[in-house]
Amino acid sequence: MNAARRNAAESMEKVDMVIEVLDARLPQASTNPMIHELRTFRQRPCLKILNKADLADPVATKAWLDFYNAQKNVRAVALSCKQQADVAKVPGLAIKTAPNRGTNEKPLRAIIMGIPNVGKSTLMNALLKKRVAKVGDEPAVTKTQQRLYLGNNIVLIDTPGMLWPKIEHPSDGLMLAASHAVGVNAVIEEEVAEFLAQLLLSRYPALLAARYGFDTEGMDGYAVIEGVAKRRALKLKGGDYDIEKAAHTLLHDYRSGAIGRISLETPQSRQHLLATYKPPARLGEQQQENEDE
């Protein structure tokens, strides 16, 4: 990650704009703060692509577009990188974002950035209409920078997906894990699924009920996972319900869109998080609190 950051910082100096790919279901949680830091230091405009918009709640996505388009030097668009008609809009939007470039004399130099598994490689392949970047439903598929010529006087630099050293808000880490931006070896799926289930209960209970065929009234997150196990007849050899497999089923159904179009955060929920979040006390501070008590 440190090497990727250094390379990105060096490239930022030589480009005209940033194309940042986000997950439309969790745009701010899938924003790497280092990307913001690097581009604002160099005063580079940004085209934010809210990818996987076909999986996200359209009402929440509209709110996010309004939120980002109100920011200085930012243009935002929601699309699916798997839809060629959507991708075809990107070159024109890029040139509008950096209007003094995109000519024979001054080609537009754009760097594509984002965290792992948000669809950067899918976007690259769709833009160039050929497989130039490896794609996989797992984080960190792209390993090195690539310089590619799009035509229309646009040069693209693809970069490896970068996560940042410390995720400040625990809920962000859980949202990223639920959306598969964090590798399965780094998380406990049952915990992630329980978080996801609790969020779905509060925001999309009807979608849960329609997908799995049970009444969600009075349930908590764990009960949802247990309900999935019952409805899908997921059992271990001893007869107990297979909670691990049920958790995996819930996560897969969310990621694939089988439950419905879901957004894990909105600008309003983000504002509430920032206003109410209290970081855990450090060890020395905790000891002092205990002594004061």
CB 158 within 8 A of CB 120: yes
**SS3 of 257, please?**
coil
155 has a pLDDT exceeding 80: yes
- Classify the C-alpha dihedral 2-33-197-181 as positive or negative: negative
134 has a pLDDT exceeding 60: no
Q: Which residues, other chains included, contact 104 with Cβ-Cβ below 8 Å and sequence gap of 6+?
A: 153
- The two beta strands, 154-158 and 146-151, are antiparallel
pLDDT at 139: 43
Distance between CA 159 and CA 139 in Å, rounded? 13
Tens of pLDDT along 276-292? 988 776 655 555 555 55
The amino acid that residue 250 corresponds to is L
pLDDT at 261: 98
pLDDT band at 159 (very low <50, low <70, confident <90, very high): confident
Q: Is 260 exposed, middle or buried (0-12, 13-18, 19+ CB in 10 A)?
A: middle
pLDDT at 104: 80
Percent of the chain with pLDDT over 70: 88
69 has a pLDDT exceeding 60: yes
Closest CA to 176 of 43, 31, 58, 30: 30
Closest CA to 203 of 166, 175, 165: 175
Among 28-42, 105-119, 157-171, whose mean pLDDT is lowest? 157-171
112 has a pLDDT exceeding 50: yes
Closest CA to 119 of 153, 90, 149: 90
What is the rounded average pLDDT of the residues 206-227?
96
What radius of gyration, in Å, describes the C-alpha atoms of the chain?
A: 21
Closest CA to 49 of 68, 70, 72: 68
pLDDT at 278: 83
132 has a pLDDT exceeding 70: no
Among 9-18, 97-106, 117-126, whose mean pLDDT is lowest? 97-106
Domain 9-158 is of which CATH architecture? 3-Layer(aba) Sandwich (3.40)
How many angstroms separate the Cα of 74 from the Cα of each of 93, 98, 188, 212?
A: 11, 10, 36, 40
How many angstroms separate the Cα of 105 from the Cα of each of 7, 66, 96, 150, 154?
A: 26, 34, 17, 16, 11
Tell me where in the chain the CATH 3.40.50.300 domain(s) lie: 9-158
pLDDT band at 110 (very low <50, low <70, confident <90, very high): very high
Q: Which fold has domain 188-278?
A: Conserved Hypothetical Protein Ylqf; Chain: A; domain 2 (1.10.1580)
The more confidently predicted of residues 119 and 5 is 119
pLDDT at 140: 44
293 has a pLDDT exceeding 60: no
pLDDT at 184: 66
Tell me where in the chain the CATH 1.10.1580.10 domain(s) lie: 188-278
